[in-house]
Chains A and B, each alone.
Chain A
Amino acid sequence: MTNLLTLPIIIPLMTAILLIFLAKQVTAQRVISVISTIATLVASIVLLLTVKNEGVQTIAISSWQSPFGISLVSDMLSALLVTTTSLITLCVIIYSFRSIGKKREQFYYYSIVQFMLVGVNGAFTTGDIFNLFVFFEVMLMSSYVLIVIGGTKIQLRESVKYILVNVISSAIFVIAVAFLYSVVGSLNMAHISERIAEIGQLPIITVIAVLFLIVFGLKGAIFPLYFWLPGSYNAPPVPVLALFGSLLTKVGVYSILRTYSLFFYQNQAFTHELLEIVALLTIIVGVIGAIAYWDVKKIIIYNIIIAVGVLTFGISLATEEAFQGTIFYLIHDMIIKAALFLLIGVMIKITGTSNLRKMGGLIKKYPLLGWTFLVAAFGLAGIPPLSGFVGKFLIVRAAFAEGAYVGALIVLLSSLFVLYSVIKIFMNGFWKAPQDYPGEEKQPVHFLWMPGAILVVVSICYGVGAEGMYPLISQATEALIDPTIYIDAVLKE
C-alpha cells in the first residue's frame, strides 16, 4: 500500500475535522480522539516495519514526478520519530481526561491536539522544504492556541511573547527558503542536496546554513535563541506542557539534523564548529537554570534545554557513531520528558503548588508515583540499564574519537547536574516530613499516574532493549551519513 506513509498525517487530520463538529459532546470527543490516536500509532508502527523491511518509502503526491511535485519521504529516522510522537500524544490525551477540565475540553482542545499531531508528523515526514515550513506553521498555530486556551492572565502574557518569537522565526524561515531557492532553484530536499553538491562550497551556502540554524535554533531553543522557552513553557497546563516539551523543540532538532546532514554536509569546517560551540553553551545555560530553580516545572523545562544542547552536540560531530547516539538520545528524550512532565503534573495536582519548598513526604501516601518518578529521573540522567545511557554513551565515545575532549567532558558533567536537579525534586518532594494538602483526596491520582507510568515503562524497555533497537537506529543513521540513499530513494535514478 503506497499511501501508508500519509496515514500518520491523514488520520489525525480527519479526526481533528470531525472533532470540530462534536465540540460540546466531551465523551464522544474523548472516545474518538483515543481511538484515532491508537489508529495513528498502529499505522506508524506498520510504517516503521515497512521501512525496516523495504527501505526508504517515498510518495510523490498526485503522481507528479519528484523534483516537481511535493514528495513525502519516510526513512527510518522519520518513521521512528512519527511512532514516538503518536505514542506520546496518546498518553497525553489519556492524561488530559481528568486533568485539563471540562471548559477547555468543550473548546476544541482535542481537535487542536490532533492538528498539532498533524503538524509534527508532517514535519517529520515531508521531503520538501517549503512544505516543511507549512507543517511547521500547522504545528505552531495549534501550539499558539494550546498555550492560550483557557485564557488565564499568565497564559495571555506568555503567549504574546511566544507568538511574537515564532512569527519572527517563521519570517526568517521564509527568507531563508527564498535565498535557497534563488541559489539552487528547487524546493525538493533531495534535489536541493544534489544541486548543492554540484555547485560545491560557495560561501552563500554557508550563509544559508547559518540562517537555517537560526530559524531551527529559535524553534528548538539553542543557546542564544532559547530565551523565550522558560517563560512560555511555564504558562500552559501540564498536558499541553508535556506535548510542547517532548515534541516542539525536537522538531527543531530534527530539522537541524536533516538539513545539516542532507544539505550542508560538504563544508563542515565553519558550520559544524559553530554548531558545536553553540551546543556546549546551550548545555551550560540549561544546567545553570536546572540547578537554580526550586520550581518543579522550571527544573524540567531547563532540562529540555540541556537535552537540546546534547543533541546538537551530537549533530555537530557528524560521524556515524555520533548520529547513532543522537538518534538514540532524541527518542529517549522525547519519551522521558513527556513522562517527567506528566509525573510532576500529578505532584502539582496533589499539592496544589509547583514550589518544591512547599512540598514534602509524598512517598508515604503515593509510593507508586514516587518510585516511578525515581526511575524516570535515573533514566533522564542516563544510569546504565535505563534509556538515557546508550545515547549519551555513543555521543561521548564519538566525541573522544573526534578529539572533542571539552565537549565530551561537558556532556558527562551535565549528566551529573541533571541527576542533581531531578533528585532535588525527589528528595524535597517525596522525602522530608509528610504534609497534608487541601483537596488532595479528590484528585484522581491513580488515573493521572497511569499515562506517565506507561511512558516510563516504554523508556525502560527502550533502554533494556537497546540491543533490539540498534538495527533500526543504525538503519536510520545510514541515510544521514550517506545522503545518496535519501536522494536515490526520492529521485529514483
Chain B
Amino acid sequence: MEILMSIVSGLLIASAVYLILSKSLLRIIIGTGLLSHGAHLLILTMGGLKNGAAPLLGQHAPAYVDPLPQALILTAIVISFGVTALFLVLAYRAYQELGTDNTDEMRGTEAND
C-alpha cells in the first residue's frame, strides 16, 4: 500500500512541477495546490498505513492508526489553505493592476515599472 501511495504522491508532485513551470499564473496556483496534496499524502504514507481503528479511544480497538501524522496534516492543510487563498487574491489583484496573467510579462526589469 505504501508503494502505491508513494507512486501516487510522486505523480502529484510531478504534475505540480510541470504546472508550476508553465506561464499562466492560474496554472501555477493549481500546481501549488497539487504540490501540497502530494506533500500531505506523503506525510500520511510516511507515518505508516497499517490497519487499525480510527484514532478515537471510544472504539476500544486493540490497535489504532498513528494519530500524529493526521494532526500534522491537519495543520499543514489549514496553512496551505490560508496561503493559497492569499495567493489567489494576489493573482486576481495582479491581473487587475498589471493586466496580464502571463508570467513572462511580469519580468522585473526597470523598464517595466
Contact = CB atoms under 8 A, between A and B. Distances in A.
Interface string A139-153: 001001100100101
Contacts of B91: 160
A137 interface: yes
Interface in A127-168: 130, 133-134, 137, 141, 144-145, 148, 151, 153-154, 156-161, 163-164, 167-168
B35 A130 contact: no
Interface in B17-51: 20, 25, 28, 32, 35-36, 38-40, 42-43, 45-48
B72 interface: yes
Given A130-B72, A151-B97, A178-B46, A159 B39 contact: no
A167 B35 contact: yes
A159 B90 CA distance: 8
Contact of B83 (A130, A156, A167, A182): A167
Pick from B47, B69, B79, B103 the residue with the most CB of A within 10 Å.
Answer: B79
A141 B86 contact: yes
B113 A153 contact: yes
A156 B40 contact: no
Contacts of A141: 82-83, 86
Contact of A168 (B20, B97, B108): B20
A187 B71 CA distance: 12
Q: Interface size bucket, B side?
A: 35 or more
Contact of A156 (B35, B42, B45, B98): B98
Interface in A218-238: 231, 234
Interface in B68-82: 68-69, 72, 75-76, 79-80, 82
Nearest to B17: A168
Contacts of B61: none
A46 interface: no
A164 B28 contact: yes
Interface in A231-265: 231, 234
Contact of A153 (B20, B40, B98): B98
Pick from A153, A160, A177, A234 the residue with the most CB of B within 10 Å.
Answer: A160
A171 B39 contact: yes
Nearest to B48: A182
A371 interface: no
A171 B36 contact: yes
A293 to B, nearest CB: 11
A99 B102 CA distance: 33
A107 interface: no
A181 interface: yes
Contacts of A163: 83, 86-87, 90
B11 interface: no
Contact of B68 (A148, A187, A231): A187
Contacts of A464: none
B28 to A, nearest CB: 6
Contacts of B45: 178
Interface string B78-108: 0110110011001101100110000100101
Contact of B76 (A160, A174, A182): A174
A160 B79 contact: no
Nearest to B41: A178
A137 B47 CA distance: 22
A141 to B, nearest CB: 7
Nearest to B107: A157
A151 B69 CA distance: 38
B79 A134 contact: yes
A141 B79 CA distance: 9
Contacts of B38: 171
Given A151-B93, A164-B28, A157 B98 contact: yes
B40 A174 contact: yes
B39 A164 contact: no
Interface of A: 130, 133-134, 137, 141, 144-145, 148, 151, 153-154, 156-161, 163-164, 167-168, 170-171, 174-175, 177-179, 181-182, 187, 231, 234
Interface of B: 20, 25, 28, 32, 35-36, 38-40, 42-43, 45-48, 68-69, 72, 75-76, 79-80, 82-83, 86-87, 90-91, 93-94, 97-98, 103, 106, 108, 112-113
Given A156-B98, A171-B39, A174-B76, 9 more contacts: A134-B79, A163-B83, A164-B20, A171-B80, A174-B43, A178-B39, A178-B47, A178-B69, A181-B68
30 contacts: A141-B83, A141-B86, A144-B90, A145-B86, A148-B90, A156-B94, A158-B108, A160-B25, A160-B90, A161-B106, A163-B90, A164-B20, A164-B32, A164-B87, A167-B32, A167-B83, A167-B87, A168-B20, A168-B32, A168-B35, A171-B36, A171-B39, A171-B80, A174-B76, A175-B42, A178-B45, A179-B46, A181-B47, A231-B108, A234-B108
